[in-house]
Structure 1
Amino acid sequence: MNVTLIAHTQLSDSFLASILDADVFEDVLDISDGQTVALTAIRTCYSPNRPSEIVALEGERYFKREATDGQGGTEADRLIRHIVSSKHLSTLEHISFTFAIEGVSRALLAQLTRHRVGFSYSVQSQRYVRFGSGDKSGGFDYVTPQMSEEAERMYKGIMSTLQLAYDELRKLGLPAENARMILPNAATTNLVMTANLRALLDFYSKRRKGRGAQAEITELAERLREAVVAAEPWTDAFFEQA
């Protein structure tokens, strides 16, 4: 399994220029784009100021003052903590992340795509991509779950047999869209997935280790969390609470 963060919410050049003109980021080096978007969305619900002006007019209050709830960080951190604890999570839907997810099983894909609200998927096709041994793919790859040595020998033997069967059916003229019917749930696929922060926190709360999910999807949950936190460090605490 490989998970790569392709893109995530970033401030536009014109909006960033308006903030810089207001000296909001002066002497402040750790304000992320996602946190800026979150503050703008949250304060839009309660402020008389226009959304385009909130950070310029209110940024000093929130980004340059220590949190008054005693939990560390800035007033912006406090405000986001308050919003999350009060379940006003629609404000986190404005922050999105796009991932390349590679080498996961079709079984995982079936579980993953049950998460619909706040997610978008583009998945490698078994209809248009041919998985014969002599095709560009070199045949289908597959995920091997944890099992005994004896079971693994049998498992790998079955996968080899299925590859041979797929190859033979293709030689007999069966189209790839029909030959794919014999490919197993273990067969790997690649996809691009975009999700907003609220959806990702909900996904993590359901699929993290210890919640009864299958091992492969719990690994995916952790990889997604790592990628999000690397891009937006302030989100780490909310994954912990999920």
Structure 2
Amino acid sequence: MQIKLIGHTQLSCEFYDEVFLGTTDGIYYRSTNEGDISDGQAIALSAIRTCYSHNKPSEIVKLEGEKYFSTDAKDGEGGTDADRLLRHIVKSGHTSTLEHINFTFAIEGVSRSLLAQITRHRHFSFSVQSQRYVKLESDSKSGGFEYVTPESISKNPKTHAAYDFAMTEIQRIYNELRANGVVAEDARYVLPNAATCNLVLTGNLRSILEFYSKRGAKQAQWEIRELAELMKSAVIEVEPWTEAFFKVK
């Protein structure tokens, strides 16, 4: 399994120009009392405070940012008052305000079994490699279908050999069906849950936190638990403040 963060929500250059001070050679920089705040934090503050402030959403960071990002948290749990506000929002369940922050991932080499599980999370968007249009014969560009082998099978030479034999037989049958004129969309019916696929997934921060709370738990299946951890790491790398909110149920 491999994942890569393709993109995530960022502030527009116009917003930078209006809210933060100045430009240098066309490069937007932040030089305010708020300090080094992330794009996600600025978006979250704009969304949260819009619900309670008389200020316009486009002005909230400029007018209220210093108050939240430059003062210590009042709840005694550390960080700035912006951190306190975010903690309060998550604890109170007002997490719809985090739906404005999105992340898009390239997810590669996961099983169709994992795909069946992850599509139960309704607020993700998916674009999935097709077994109808991507041919999987041994002599095709794909070189045949690849598959995931669980550790519970691979650690035992006897079960591993039986498993690999089954996959080889499935590939042979798939090849035979295609060679005898069966269209790919029908030949794929013999392919196993173990067959790998690639997908692009987009989710907002609220949905990703909810996904992690279920699939990052020890009772989740190993493959999707691994995916949950990789997604968490990718999000935290670009928005470090989110780490505190990745919790399992």
Do they fold alike, i.e. is TM over 0.5?
A: yes
Q: Does 1:165 align with 2:165?
A: no
Write the distance in 1 (CA, Å) between the matches of 2:226 and 2:124: 18
Structure 2 partner of 1:238: 245
Match of 1:223 among 211, 230, 236: 230
CA deviation map 1:129-166 (0-9, x unaligned): 00001111110000000122211110001001111111
Matches within 5 A, 1:189-208: 189-208=197-216
Alpha-carbon distance change, 65 to 25 in structure 1, aligned in 2, over 3 angstroms: farther
Write the distance in 2 (CA, Å) between the matches of 1:161 and 1:29: 61
Identity across the alignment (%): 60
User: By how many angstroms is 1:70 displaced?
Assistant: 1.4
Match of 1:136 among 137, 141, 146: 141
Alpha-carbon distance change, 170 to 6 in structure 1, aligned in 2, over 3 angstroms: same
Structure 2 partner of 1:124: 129
Structure 2 counterpart of 1:225, one-letter code: K
Structure 1 partner of 2:150: 145
CA deviation map 1:80-130 (0-9, x unaligned): 0111111111101111100000000000000000111x2100000000000
SS at match of 1:159: helix
Alpha-carbon distance change, 115 to 192 in structure 1, aligned in 2, over 3 angstroms: same
CA contact (8 A) 1:162 1:183 kept: yes
Alpha-carbon distance change, 209 to 238 in structure 1, aligned in 2, over 3 angstroms: same
CA contact (8 A) 1:83 1:89 kept: yes
User: By how many angstroms is 1:209 displaced?
Assistant: 3.3
Structure 1 partner of 2:113: 107
SS at match of 2:168: helix
Cα RMSD of the aligned pairs, angstroms, is 1.5
Provide runs of 4+ in structure 1 moved above 6 Å. Answer: none
Write the distance in 1 (CA, Å) between the matches of 2:55 and 2:87: 22
Alpha-carbon distance change, 29 to 163 in structure 1, aligned in 2, over 3 angstroms: farther
Matches within 5 A, 1:27-106: 29-106=35-112
Write the distance in 2 (CA, Å) between the matches of 1:171 and 1:241: 48
TM-score (norm 1): 0.95
Write the distance in 2 (CA, Å) between the matches of 1:89 and 1:69: 19
Write the distance in 2 (CA, Å) between the matches of 1:30 and 1:131: 49
Structure 1 counterpart of 2:140, one-letter code: D
TM-score (norm 2): 0.93
CA deviation map 1:46-95 (0-9, x unaligned): 00000000001011111111111111111111100111111111101111
Write the distance in 2 (CA, Å) between the matches of 1:35 and 1:12: 14
Write the distance in 2 (CA, Å) between the matches of 1:122 and 1:43: 34
Which sections of structure 2, spanning at least 5 residues, go unmatched?
23-28
Write the distance in 2 (CA, Å) between the matches of 1:43 and 1:103: 41
Structure 1 partner of 2:26: none
Structure 2 counterpart of 1:11, one-letter code: L
CA contact (8 A) 1:19 1:25 kept: no
CA contact (8 A) 2:69 2:80 kept: yes
User: By how many angstroms is 1:29 displaced?
Assistant: 4.8
Aligned length: 240
Structure 2 counterpart of 1:111, one-letter code: Q
